[in-house]
Amino acid sequence: MEEQREVQTEREEPATQEARPSPLARKTAVIVGASSGIGRETALKLCAMGYRVYNLSRTPFKGERVRTLTADAAQEGEIAKAIEAVGEETGGFELLVYSAGFSMAAPLEYAKSGDYRYLFEVNYFGAIEAIRASAPYLKKKKGRAVLVGSIGGDMPIPFDGFYSSSKAALAMLAREADLEMRPQGVRVTALLPGGTATDFTYSRRVYNEEESKSYSPSVRKASAALANIEQGGMTPSLVADAIIRLAEKRNPPPVSVAGGKNSLLRYAYKALPERVTDWFVRRKFNQK
């Protein structure tokens, strides 16, 4: 679960920042959301491998090895415009990583449409735009696309159901894109990490008592449990390693899980009756 929501008061045209990448780099990667968390860790590791890396986000990458093109995943057309700028400059690229994300803890009954529509713009529709815009350039290089999903897409997370729904949709998007683009030499994978210890935890939009109304005590308990799971979970470095393995793999799967423990957990969720898994979720998130 990755990247964070930030406040921006005016739209910006995609603009380059930081130092330009070395022309000696062997491969090129485009990361949507490399300014922090999993995306940033992936960018650093790819740079160390000799990739030239472009970051597409609202916040610049801190460091000289990655070039930032300013773009907001929630604004239609901005990601596509930035990707086209990269494609025109490079002629094509080997890797697209979609790591932008937003999360909110809110009761379904009182959730504001602006919040959950924003969530889907960032988590899902932005990924569609990124894949569509990248397709011509990935096909030139027989490249790979990795969409950072979540094990939460396979299970309900109390009061974070919009996030789970968006990640479930993202996994199906990856499967569909892989089916369609495989004959063109492009492979697409949704990578599902479990809880990951990043600042994403602290950027979650948690509804307050006035907004949550009668659900407020349950919202507080669930969001606190989720924060503990994340901060006690995987490191972003391990997730970045999983992304890079998929990028370098000859025949990557359309859906992959980061971490052996998470793989077992996902298998259990799918094998056990939903009544059992929902009981487990209620206990895990301190719900009655």
Residues taking part in catalysis = 163
Label the pairing between strands 66-70 and 16-17.
antiparallel
- Cβ partners under 8 Å of residue 97, min gap 6: 29, 30, 31, 32, 34, 39, 42, 145, 146, 148, 243, 247
Say if residues 190 and 255 touch (Cβ distance below 8 Å).
yes
CA torsion angle for 175, 177, 178, 183 (degrees, to 10)? 150
Say if residues 187 and 252 touch (Cβ distance below 8 Å).
yes
Neighbour count for residue 264 (Cβ, 10 Å): 11
- Residue at token pair 């090129």: 28
Amino acid at 233: G
Cα distance between residue 82 and residue 246, in whole Å: 24
Longest dimension (CA), the chain: 59
Region for residue 9 given its phi and psi (left: phi exceeds 0; alpha: psi -120 to 50; beta: otherwise): alpha
Cα distance between residue 110 and residue 259, in whole Å: 35
CA torsion angle for 252, 73, 52, 84 (degrees, to 10)? 100
What does the block give as tokens for 215? Answer: 């659900």
Which parts of 208-286 are beta strand (E)?
A: 255-257
